[in-house]
Structure 1
Amino acid sequence: MRLAGLLLAVTLGWALPALAQDSGLHGLRTGEEAAPWEAVGRLDIGGKGFCTGTLIAPDLVLTAAHCLYDRATATPVEASRIEFRAGLRDGWSVATRMARRAMPPPAYRFDPGAGAAESRNDLALVELDQPIGTAGVHPFETAPEVAAGAQVSVVSYAVGRAEAPALQDACGVLGQERGVFVLTCDVDHGSSGAPIFQMDGSIARIVSVVSAKGQLGGRQVALGTSLTQPLAELRAAFEAQAGGLPPQVTTLSAGERGDAGARFVRVDGDLNAAAALPR
């Protein structure tokens, strides 16, 4: 389904199946609730904010590319100042590791004022200084992207729930255009990089990561990055790079820094024309 059609559908209040089945967020406060999701953790970025990240290998975290930058200076944060706290819950984490290196896709260009179209490359890999081999913490697999109308789940940290993750069991995929998913998931500052899962019975696989919070036809939506092309390119660049951020990363004009990683955009029919909303 094209995004322009989605804009009309939401404006007219049409009840898409995925919308009708949305569930609210609930905090994962007990060990039993949190146990299946302990490979999801909080990424603390240089003492200036945080994002959400997920283990996809014992020493590799998947998150959003814009989380790697200081918005005040539009420059990359040193990897040694990025800390991953797996399964963080009320001050306790399953494991804590510092980053050894971090990298966005070669095509990513950081711009604090970028619109929705920039979400198509908003992925990053963070390599940890030591693998996390804690019993019960199992990295998640990634999977091909999902179709419009599919039901997905999201686990994230955010402002107001920074000390424990929250799970939204069911939110909907409204559509996808040029590598950007539009979803009904509930996200906020700090949710950037959060894994979007599709469930196959009890097995959860990551199909996207949260890139931004937006508005579509007056409704709050989330934007997610398709993993299909940018993740393959990112993996190849990551394996080829000895360490540090690749030289082809560029930075654009600086914007106002928020206290946590997030982007806010207005989703128009044309993603390339989408304007950034003020923080």
Structure 2
Amino acid sequence: MIQRVLIFFLLLSISTTASYAQAAKRKLTDRDDLYGWEAVGRLDIGTQGFCTGTLIAQDLVLTAAHCALDKATGKPYPPGKVTFRAGLSGNDALADRKVVQIAAHPEFKANGAVSAPRVRMDVALMRLESPIPYSIADPFALHQGNVAGNEVSLASYGRGRAEAITRERSCRILNRSDGLITFNCDITFGSSGSALLARNGSRWQILSVVSAVGTNGRQKVGFGMELSGIVADLKADLRRDAPRPKANIRRLQVGSGKSSSGAKFISSGGG
């Protein structure tokens, strides 16, 4: 049934009109508001536009693959093209980091036709140039299992709210089957790549990533994917393709050390 639903891909040039009560959403405009949500950030893609991303580790951002691939080339954006701005509010972010490495599903096509299989693959990981300390932003964990009561939440940037995170405190899962998740959160320009969050005890955890928006014939709905297995595979891809560190070779001259024997010893710890 989900595959027959009309889906409009959330490209950077597409916007939608909010149809949910404004009271359900709140802009996080100061430091107190941001507490607990610092790991959500805006992904600025050069001067082309923006998406939303969420830290899942100090140096890893989870987002949508269509936010990570250049439509013109079909390849990941080059290092330095994308900037993650954690907790951006106004012109100030809690931390700015360039993205230096991207991993997306190898079968995801930047210019492919929108379909249920495409949404299932619309996930990417971005490695930052340096970690963001836990004292600044606490990464979100991935959610496992069922969602009690089908209640979810969304924190993202978007058209008309590009300068601060807007959190929709409560929306609901409408359907969850065949690797797809349909929900009624208010999706708009810039919401692409944001994390759909489900509560686990007192904490919110990442259930899915916003990929597309469409209609089920009665109302506007958002679409995401099940993350089980995908994120682990992308992490493995990042490790495999990570630039190898350059060897730092130091030549030792006889007698250069402080030992009276003329030998210089190096401890097992590398010191």
- In structure 1, list runs of 5 or more residues that go unmatched: 8-19, 244-279
Which residue matches 2:258?
Answer: none
C-alpha separation in 1, matches of 2:21 and 2:206: 20
- Deviations along 1:163-215, one digit per CA (max 9) or x if unpaired, are 00101111111112322111111111111110111113431111111111111
Please give the TM-score of this superposition, normalised by the length of structure 1.
0.75
C-alpha separation in 2, matches of 1:208 and 1:196: 5
Which residue matches 1:192?
Answer: 192
CA 5–147 in structure 1, closer or farther in 2 if over 3 Å, else same: farther
- Give the 3-state SS of the residue equivalent to 2:36 in structure 1: helix
- Give the 3-state SS of the residue equivalent to 1:228 in structure 2: coil
Which residue matches 1:125?
Answer: 125
C-alpha separation in 1, matches of 2:80 and 2:222: 30
- Give the 3-state SS of the residue equivalent to 1:185 in structure 2: coil
CA 106–57 in structure 1, closer or farther in 2 if over 3 Å, else same: same
8 Å contact kept, 1:25–1:186: no
C-alpha separation in 1, matches of 2:74 and 2:109: 11
Which residue matches 1:236?
Answer: 236
Alpha-carbon deviation of 1:152?
Answer: 0.7
1:171 paired to 2:194:
no
Matches within 5 A, 1:219-258: 219-243=219-243
Q: Which amino acid aligns with 2:200?
A: D
Please give the TM-score of this superposition, normalised by the length of structure 2.
0.77
Matches within 5 A, 1:1-279: 3=2, 24-72=24-72, 74-111=74-111, 113-133=113-133, 135-146=135-146, 150-243=150-243
- Give the 3-state SS of the residue equivalent to 2:188 in structure 1: coil
Higher alpha-carbon deviation: 88-97 or 70-79: 70-79
Q: How high is the sequence identity, in percent, across the aligned residues? A: 39
C-alpha separation in 2, matches of 1:141 and 1:98: 22
CA 178–144 in structure 1, closer or farther in 2 if over 3 Å, else same: same
CA 141–124 in structure 1, closer or farther in 2 if over 3 Å, else same: same
- Give the 3-state SS of the residue equivalent to 1:37 in structure 2: coil
Which residue matches 2:257?
Answer: none
Alpha-carbon deviation of 1:31?
Answer: 1.9
- Give the 3-state SS of the residue equivalent to 2:229 in structure 1: helix
Q: Which amino acid aligns with 2:50?
A: F
Q: Which has the higher contact order (CA 8 A, sep 6+)?
A: 1
CA 138–147 in structure 1, closer or farther in 2 if over 3 Å, else same: closer
Instruction: List structure 1 runs of 4+ shifted beyond 6 angstroms.
Output: 4-7, 20-23
CA 148–37 in structure 1, closer or farther in 2 if over 3 Å, else same: closer
Larger radius of gyration: 2
Alpha-carbon deviation of 1:220?
Answer: 0.5
Higher alpha-carbon deviation: 180-189 or 106-115: 106-115
Q: Which amino acid aligns with 2:212?
A: A
C-alpha separation in 2, matches of 1:31 and 1:22: 22
| Coordinate RMSD, CA, aligned | 2.7
- Deviations along 1:45-102, one digit per CA (max 9) or x if unpaired, are 1220110001111111000011012335544321321100000011111000001111
Q: Which has the higher helix share?
A: 1
CA 148–137 in structure 1, closer or farther in 2 if over 3 Å, else same: closer
C-alpha separation in 2, matches of 1:90 and 1:33: 13
- The number of aligned residues is 231
C-alpha separation in 2, matches of 1:204 and 1:151: 11
- In structure 2, list runs of 5 or more residues that go unmatched: 7-19, 244-271
- Give the 3-state SS of the residue equivalent to 2:42 in structure 1: strand
8 Å contact kept, 2:5–2:215: no
